[in-house]
Structure 1
Amino acid sequence: MASRDMVVGIFFLSQTVLGMLGNSALLCCFIIADFSGIRAKPTDLIVKHLVWANFIVLCRGIPQTIAAFSQTYYLDYVSCKLAFYFHRVGRGVSLSSTSLLSVFQAITISPSSSRWAQYKPRAPRIIGPFLGLCWALQLLLYNFIFVYTTNIRGGRNVTGIQDFGYCTVINSEKLISILIVILIAFNDVVFLTLMTLASGYMVFILLRHKQRVQHIHRSLSPRSSPETRATQSILTLVCCFVIFYATSVVFTSYLSASEGSRWLSNTGAAMAACFPALCPFLLIRHYASFFRLCCSSFYQTIHCACVVREF
């Protein structure tokens, strides 16, 4: 085994295990909350879908890790198609769920005098249908993967392939490749733009509110204000989201339009899994008090609590 393959295998193994543990912790907290009778907020449904989408994306790290440690590991014909298809679907749902989370939060904190205030009562009711629409859209968008993905044996006698170590992707005609790249990039850019605009709007609202009450915070405590801490959390989430997914879009578009090397394929897969692996740890910061409440409810076997979560 080459040292480069060992490094790649260790990286994918660490990334997959870390991401699985973080998302599992977040999911277990929601399960405990449901059994404890804790009242759910509308954003919790979005986070649950986000967690399941993250699980799907991180599952691709398993064959990546095995292929890096074992040069004779290959997926069969059907498994290759399903692995690539659900990875891309999970990635798309993770992207759209995070964007929806930002948009919903922006509507929630908008002042009553803004044009967004009229959507506050209706926003919680459309979360479920919108999440269903996101799943349906991503399931339809990546149907082309079933046509161009095959196993190692099926790609040996085909010119113009991308070798991922355990599966191969057959390059389509140039015009079709361009259309696929445009379609995928458009899907990603739309959701990235929505999240960036919504997060920028939230930061603007919070900073303006901070200026109005700045004299109160100065007289009460020298610590940073809640608005400042919330703004920093939003900026952290947005920066991670935009950096990882924008980089992933570049790698995906390049790989779809050309014959990339194994190293480039591994880099693209690693970047696509970075945000799903780190996302739960960013969200856990918001749910810190909620986690303490869940643990207290679990150990004290309190099943009838009705508490509104702070997010």
Structure 2
Amino acid sequence: MISMDIALGLFSLFQTGLGVLGNSFLLGLYAITFFLGPRVRSIDLLLTHLALVNDVVLLFKGIPHTMATLGLTNFLDDVGCKLVFYFHKVARDLSLCTTCLLSSFQAMTLSPRSSRWAKLKARVPKCIVPLFLSCWAFCLLKNCMIVLYMKGPMENKNITGGQDFTYCAAVFPVSLGSAITILIVSLPDILCIGIMVGTSGYTVFVLYRHHQRVQYIHGNNLTTSDSTETRATRTILLLVFLFVSFYSLNSILILCIRYVPSYWVIHISAFLASCFPACSSFVLIVRDSHVYKYFLALW
């Protein structure tokens, strides 16, 4: 069991380190291009914010979990657990909001001029910063209840009705009111997931219709290269798909931890919680042609 803990700890450390490296590379690249590089797109602000909050998710989730897996389970006290889980939840919700904004922004960008969304295209760049501030304020207020439920590891002994996260514990009062409160707090997350699914479906429909028109104009025998906008759209769709998949699976496992505590469920849940923050930066680095342009422009 000791060797298994070490293996899991090293894997968590590798996942966290690789993800922080990728997100930090994007943050540095976008920061330099803001001052020295070519003209920055409005969507780059969203991608920069996504890389920033993903770094925070990895730091406040991956590092404590790695330390706990390697045997350091009592390195946080009651206040430390509250702060670590609070900032992790805030960053996780901000990642959700940013991915939702990315999906909506790209759907507006691809929408035909005759659609209702076309009127919003010119206004969107001016609304990005206010949307960021609104998301930060909402997420900071939404997760205030964490300070009431999170407890230090030393307080996890002989506690019923709680969730064990190895290095911290969450104690939820068993009552109808608390269940309703948790449901109400989860509604914004469900709404964002619904918006992402809806806008992604609309985007796929627009791309499919565009592909059919191109085939009709040029004929089936002529292959046309994808435009930059199409490649960027497919990248955003891939990010949305990854986020929804990992977020849904992790949410299911969090419920399992509460009702059926398991050593492996805790570690798999932590792995899934860090998957999107760790891999999203590399999806952008590999698939987004603008990253290559920015990199080449700097050199």
Same fold (TM over 0.5): yes
Q: CA 1:71–1:286 in 2, change beyond 3 Å: closer, same or farther?
A: closer
Q: Find the counterpart in structure 1 of residue 144 from structure 2.
A: 143
Contact 1:57–1:91 under 8 Å retained in 2: yes
Give 3-state SS (helix, strand or coil) of 1:162's partner.
strand
Q: Find the counterpart in structure 1 of residue 119 from structure 2.
A: 118
- Say which is worse superposed, 90-99 or 258-267, in terms of deviation: 258-267
Q: 1:101 and 1:77 mapped to 2: Cα distance?
A: 36
- Displacement, 1:74? 2.5
Query: Normalised by the size of structure 1, how large is the TM-score?
Result: 0.86
Gaps of 5+ in 2: none
- Displacement, 1:205? 0.9
Q: 2:17 and 2:33 mapped to 1: Cα distance?
A: 24
Q: Find the counterpart in structure 1 of residue 167 from structure 2.
A: 166
- Say which is worse superposed, 223-232 or 187-196, in terms of deviation: 223-232
Q: Find the counterpart in structure 2 of residue 187 from structure 1.
A: 188
- Say which is worse superposed, 71-80 or 107-116, in terms of deviation: 71-80
Give 3-state SS (helix, strand or coil) of 2:144's partner.
coil
Deviation digits for residues 79-129 of structure 1 (CA, Å, limit 9, x no counterpart): 111100111111000011001011011111111111111111111111211
- Displacement, 1:218? 5.1
Letter in 2 for 1:42: S
Q: Find the counterpart in structure 1 of residue 96 from structure 2.
A: 95
Q: 2:177 and 2:12 mapped to 1: Cα distance?
A: 31
Contact 2:231–2:288 under 8 Å retained in 1: no
Q: How many equivalent pairs are there?
A: 297
Q: 2:181 and 2:48 mapped to 1: Cα distance?
A: 29
Contact 1:32–1:294 under 8 Å retained in 2: no
Q: Find the counterpart in structure 2 of residue 271 from structure 1.
A: 272
- Displacement, 1:36? 0.8
Q: 1:201 and 1:12 mapped to 2: Cα distance?
A: 36
Q: 2:282 and 2:162 mapped to 1: Cα distance?
A: 37
Within a 5 Å distance, the mapping from 1:16-95 to structure 2 comes to 16-59=16-59, 60-95=61-96
Q: CA 1:25–1:221 in 2, change beyond 3 Å: closer, same or farther?
A: farther
Contact 1:203–1:234 under 8 Å retained in 2: no
RMSD: 2.4
Letter in 1 for 2:212: Q
Letter in 1 for 2:179: I
- Say which is worse superposed, 155-164 or 196-205, in terms of deviation: 155-164
Q: 1:163 and 1:262 mapped to 2: Cα distance?
A: 10
Q: CA 1:30–1:225 in 2, change beyond 3 Å: closer, same or farther?
A: closer
- Displacement, 1:37? 4.4
Letter in 1 for 2:15: Q
Contact 1:150–1:169 under 8 Å retained in 2: yes
Letter in 1 for 2:13: L
Q: 2:266 and 2:220 mapped to 1: Cα distance?
A: 55
Query: Normalised by the size of structure 2, how large is the TM-score?
Result: 0.89
Q: Find the counterpart in structure 1 of residue 254 from structure 2.
A: 252
- Displacement, 1:53? 1.0
